[in-house]
Amino acid sequence: MELGNLFDNLALGISVAVSFKNLFYCLCGAIIGTAIGVLPGVGPLATLALLLPVTYHLSPEGALIMLAGIYYGAQYGGSTTAVLVNLPGESSSVVTCIDGYQMARQGRAGPALAIAAIASFFAGCVATVIIALAAPPLTKVAQQFAAADYFSLMVLGLVFAIVLARGSVIKAVGMIFLGMLLGLVGTDVNTGNTRFTFGISSLFDGIGFVPLAMGVFGIAEIVHNLTNTERRDLVSAKVSGLMPTRADIKQSIGPILRGTALGSFLGLLPGGGAVLASFSAYTLEKKISRTPERFGKGAIEGVAAPEAANNAAAQTSFIPMLTLGIPSNPVMALMIGGMMIHGIIPGPQVMDQRPGLVWGLIVSMWLGNLMLVVLNLPLIGIWVRMLLVPYRLLAVSILFFCCIGTYSLNNAAEEVLLIAFFGVLGYLLMRLECEPAPLLLGFILGPLMEVYMRRAMLLSRGDPWVFYDRWLSFTFLVMAVILLLIVIAPNVRKKREEAFQE
Amino acid sequence: MQIRLKSGQDFATGLLFLVIGIGAYYIGSTYSMGVAQRPGTGVLPRILAWCLIGTGVLMWIKAFVGPGEGTYRFSWRPVVMVLLGVAILVLYLTVFPPILAALKIQGDGSPIIAVTLAMLVAVTGMPNTPWRPLVMVTIGVIAFSLLVDTAGLIVAMVVSMTLAALGTHETRWREFAAFSVLMLLIGYGLFIYALGMPIKVLPWN
Amino acid sequence: MRRRDFIKLSAAGLAGAVSGSASAQAAWPARPVKLVVPYAPGGASDIIARPWAEALGQAFGQQFVVENRGGAGGMIGSEAVMKSPPDGYTFLLTPCAALTILPLLQKTPYDPQKNFLPVGRVGDTISGFVIHPSVGVKTFQEMVAYAKANPGKLSYGSAGNGTITHFRLEIVKYKAGIDILHVPYRGSADSLNDLLANNIQMMAEINPLPHVKAGKLNLLSINHPKRSPEFPDTPTLTECGYPGCDMISWYAIWAPAGTPADIIQKFNAKIAEIGNGADMKKKLQSISAVEVVVTPEETGKFLAEEMQRNAELIKAANIKLE
């Protein structure tokens, strides 16, 4: 893209985004998004659905700016609960829980939250630049991915989920399979048959991510902490410093850069690459680190990389929508709905016909990220102070928010019941030292894998070799196998050594 | 040759995987497999069930053959509690339906409640598991789901928070009372006032 | 809905209840009216429903509120309206699929002809068969010839099994005797992605149309009785030699059975008035839709015709939800 052209577009974008009204909408979106992200249960999708009618009365630019602000604002907020109380607000925050919460338990919640915000800001800026410079050619790259490639990518993602695990590999594998099975519960969209629903109609649409996460992460954690009083009190009492140290920042630079790159790429894939962003970034950091044993115990790279990745992916997932009119996830679909209500049909012509809208949105995304980091950094002090609340009260409030947050999603009391069920299951798993993160990742990836597997088989007219023939798919599968071997090999060697010793 | 259980935890984990895996396979085998070009409903359930069973077997191998000195001591409590949990489930499937119908408790929730309670009983059987926090918190959540539709948000919140607070002996009741008022205000302010969710607040609305 | 709306609605509802039902009928609408859309918010139905809700609200001086109740392919929202009191304050605004396809493929709690009274049609979305240029055909007839010569080679993406896009393919397959692979997706957005990448070759929906305009896809036909002003050179399906195969996605408003006839007439008259107006025509055209102004009776007749045609197709082409 010619530089002159780019400056013209940016100037146009700035003139649209920096109007008093649009700045106000951007700020509204950022604030609402952060609040939504912090609240367990309610997520950006539900909020956007609620606010869509309101945006009808705004200008199309204002509407999109606000909706977008809510979406990436929620990414900032979601990491807050992940770090503070081990509750993932959204699927992208599951990985942040792993090291972020451990850092909080060590009294380092402040630096964790700060690095999360800084990483997100950096990633958001870079992603915005990417969108501005290279949206159309990147879209072409994303178009190379067909169903078989997505399937293999998901398989690779599942192997990443194994690497994530702190403890026993076999248990992590078991958790992934269990998670995938849980993901299958519900109606099989292709055939209309219900699977594993036992006739319970509230399960027909499947198990929601929110009840599962609230139960397995939230309730199980509460029960565990209420049971083990000594361990817990030692930790929450000290809160050392709110800001990250020099060492923290130095350690985070690499992860932030790599996470941004990975997330920016994965966000482009309309078929759902963004969901892989956070944990592939985490896995990458763990694998290339010289001290991988720190991961899972409060390594700051384990917060910086996923946060950068998921924010970058959230921004670049706008690209397919802006260039082709294709939504990468349900939130984008809602935004397309918002555009169409204003009579704008999304597609390749939108960039030409309404450049003000597109570039205004792009510029406001950068402004929104700036507003968010300015908003969130001071809030860290407040959040961390909340941790000083005696746990007997904190537990009750977590319970409170889990229940009401989940109930408010669909006014469905059965979903709250599911929290109870998964709470008990989660506690059981915790006692058995089986980690919840691979469970949730399997839960998300399993159904996706099935959709792509079926589509790939349908398109290949029943030929299973399609996964081998397509070079992308083949590459991902080979990477998955190699990674799996790397993970298993040390274990095997260790066992052989022990056998020899006996 | 003496086979000694090296790790109760690995054994239990393996057992969990095997039970779920076999159960999933049993249910999944009723789903059709489709053809190569159109993989059917049953393909992934069966594959995953096998994988889970395989993982369970590996865990058992590790439990018996893995590193460790085999200092695991057998105790009756887990077995008793698991059996009790199974008994609850069986009771639910056979005896409860007419009782529930008579009391006019209906809705889909009851199977989930039954399974949750059964699991709860079984899990409290684990060694070193004080029953109080686990049971009270779980019952608190269940109470919320049962009350919120009929009695409104405030009642549901108060009951469930109180039940949860009962789950730990650290609770100081005056402090708790003040705190719950605060929580109710925040909850109302956020969800009802700010977000405008159509949730019933008081029992008589 | 927002807290303000909620309070306004409850206050209005209280007033309405106090004033008694008889006088409420005479002054219909005396309080806000609910238009239930049985799909998730932000979907294609919203894009038709919301402009209408606003226009009706202005015309009647009472709020017309769109309420989304998605799930089960349109069944949940439709069932909810069927069960609402027939007092003229709850209506169903839905694309035809929930009523003309769903009840024929699975057991629904409602019978479209018994449980609902037609009020009027509010718009048809216009789309047609698009094909990826790499196939090398430019007209519908060429496509049919290609498909006959290469059975099973072309593939077509639908929004899912049992959706109207699925039926658009099936009826043409049946009438032309060709074999095209049906690939179900979860919604048209996913299928558009694969179409652009040439993983599938054909679709028949509105979202590829901007790409046709940009020259990336070829439009073979317009599945509507009249040609589209946006694509004046593209023949209609009827002109291509396949009358009665249009499978239009037509939107209409339905009232629960038992709603008083005078309310329905009043409503329909206003729909006609708005539909004939230039404002609504322009709004609909910008989203590739066109208004069809008909009486309630004609709407009911159209429903019956469509259901019959679909039933025959399902039997003849052996369409199942698998």
Q: What percent of chain C lies above the pLDDT cut of 90?
A: 44
A334-343, A466-475, B189-198, C177-186: segment of lowest average pLDDT: B189-198
The confidence score (pLDDT) of residue B106 equals 54
Q: Does C197 touch chain A (CB under 8 A)?
A: yes
pLDDT at A413 over 50: yes
Mean residue pLDDT of chain B comes to 82
Mean pLDDT for the stretch of residues C196-201: 91
The confidence score (pLDDT) of residue C14 equals 46
* Cα–Cα distance measured from residue A154 to residue A148, given in angstroms and rounded to the nearest whole number: 10
HSE-up of A296 (CA within 13 Å, CB side)? Answer: 17
The alpha-carbon gap from B72 to the nearest alpha carbon of chain A, in Å, equals: 15
A368 residue type, one letter: G
Find the mean pLDDT for residues A17-34: 89
Q: Is A302 on the interface with C (CB under 8 A)?
A: no
Q: Residue A179: which pLDDT band, with cuts at 50, 70 and 90?
A: very high
Find how far residue A169's CA is from the centre of its chain. 23
State whether B165 and A392 contact (CB < 8 Å). Answer: yes
Residue C23 clears pLDDT 50, i.e. is over it: no
Average pLDDT over residues A396-415: 86
Contacts of A386 (CB under 8 A, 6+ apart): A84, A394
Query: For C123-162, how does the pLDDT look when each residue is reduced to its tens digit (9 = 90+)?
Result: 999 989 999 999 999 999 999 999 999 998 999 999 888 8
* Residue whose token pair is 């070193």: B128
* pLDDT (0 to 100) of residue A395: 87
List of chain C residues whose C-beta atoms are within 8 Å of the C-beta of residue B38: 322
Greater pLDDT, C18 or A214: A214
Which positions in chain A touch B115 (Cβ < 8 Å)?
421
Q: Which of A56, A265, A295, A4 is nearest to C46 (CA)?
A: A56
**pLDDT top residue among C188 and B18:** B18
What does the pLDDT average to over B36-47?
87
Mutate to test the interface with C, among A70, A335, A345 (most CBs of C within 10 A): A345
The lowest-confidence range among A169-173, A234-238, C226-230 is A234-238
The verdict on a CB contact (< 8 Å) between B141 and A399 is yes
Mean confidence (pLDDT) of chain C: 85
Radius of gyration, CA atoms only, chain C = 21
A198: chain B residues, CB-CB within 8 Å = 111
Helix (H) or strand (E) holding C139: none
Taking the C-alpha atoms of residue A306 and residue A278, their distance in angstroms, rounded to an integer, is: 4
User: ∠C137-C139-C140 over CA atoms, to 5°?
Assistant: 105
Greater confidence, C249 or B103? C249
Name every chain B residue with its beta carbon within 8 A of the beta carbon of C4.
196
Inter-chain contact C214–A347, Cβ cutoff 8 Å?
yes
Return the bridge partners of C157, or none. Answer: C183
**Quick check: C24 pLDDT over 70?**
no
Q: For residue B183, is pLDDT > 50? A: yes
pLDDT for A173: 93
Residue B133's closest CA among B175, B158, B166?
B166
3-state secondary structure labels for all residues of A192-209: CCEECCCCCHHHCCCCCH
Task: Tell me the pLDDT tens digit for each residue of A356-366.
Answer: 888 889 888 88
Q: Give the residue with greater pLDDT, C226 vs C73.
A: C226
**Tens digit of each residue's pLDDT (9 = 90 or more) over A207-222:** 988 899 999 998 998 8
Residue of A416, A419, A492 best to disrupt the B interface, most CBs of B under 10 A:
A416
Within A78-211, strands assigned E span 186-187, 194-195
- Angstrom distance (rounded) from CA C303 to CA C112: 8
Q: Which residues contact A187 (CB under 8 A, 6 or more apart)?
A: A193, A194, A195, A197, A204, A205, A206
Inform me whether the pLDDT recorded for B134 exceeds 70: yes
Measured between beta carbons, the chain B residues lying within 8 angstroms of C1 are 196, 198
Q: What share of chain C is helix, strand, coil (3-state, %, to 5)?
A: 45, 15, 35
More confident position, A430 or A3: A430
pLDDT band at B96 (very low <50, low <70, confident <90, very high): low
Q: What is the pTM of this model?
A: 0.86
pLDDT at A2 exceeding the cut of 80: no
Q: What is the DSSP string of A78-135?
A: HHHHHHHHS--SSGGGHHHHHHHHHHHHTT-HHHHHHHHHHHHHHHHHHHHHHHHHHH
Helix (H) or strand (E) holding A50: helix A44-55
Q: Supply the pLDDT for residue C4.
A: 46
CB contact set of B103 (below 8 Å; sequence gap of 6+): none
Q: Which residues pair with C35 in a beta bridge?
A: C66, C91
**Nearest of B59, B66, B10, B21 to residue A170 by alpha carbon:** B59
Question: Residue B193 and residue C3: Cβ atoms within 8 Å?
Answer: yes
Give the C-alpha separation, A238 to B65, whole Å. Answer: 43
* pLDDT at B94 exceeding the cut of 80: no
CA distance linking residue B43 with residue A446, whole number of Å? 13
Chain A residue at shortest CA distance from B31:
A195
pLDDT at B102: 61
- pLDDT tens profile A97-145: 999 999 988 888 889 999 999 999 999 999 988 888 888 888 888 888 8
Closest CA to A434 of A36, A167, A139, A214: A167
Q: What is the pLDDT of residue A136?
A: 81
Residues ≥6 apart with Cβ < 8 Å to B116: A417, A420, A421, A424, B138, B142
Q: How far apart are CA A157 and CA A480, in angstroms?
A: 8
Q: Residue C18 has what pLDDT?
A: 43
Residues from chain B that touch C5, judged by Cβ atoms under 8 A, are: 196
**B191: distance to nearest CA of chain C, Å?**
10
CB contact (8 A) between residue B198 and residue C5: no
A194 contacts in chain C (CB < 8 Å): none
| pLDDT tier for residue B70 given thresholds of 50, 70 and 90 | low
Are C11 and C69 in contact, with CB atoms under 8 Å apart? Answer: no
Strand duo C181-184 + C155-158: pairing: parallel
Residue A468 reports pLDDT greater than 80: yes
C-alpha to C-alpha distance for B79 and B57, rounded to whole angstroms:
20
User: How large is the average pLDDT for residues C276-292?
Assistant: 86
Mean pLDDT, chain A, as a whole number? Answer: 86
Which ipTM did the prediction report? 0.89
Neighbours of chain B (3+ CB pairs under 8 A): A, C
The single-letter code of the amino acid at A355 is P
* pLDDT of B4 over the 70 cut: no
Residue A237 pLDDT = 47
Task: Give the confidence band of C186 by pLDDT, cuts at 50, 70, 90.
Answer: confident
Task: Give residue A498's pLDDT.
Answer: 60
Question: Could you give the CA distance from residue C307 to residue C288 in angstroms, rounded to a whole number?
Answer: 24
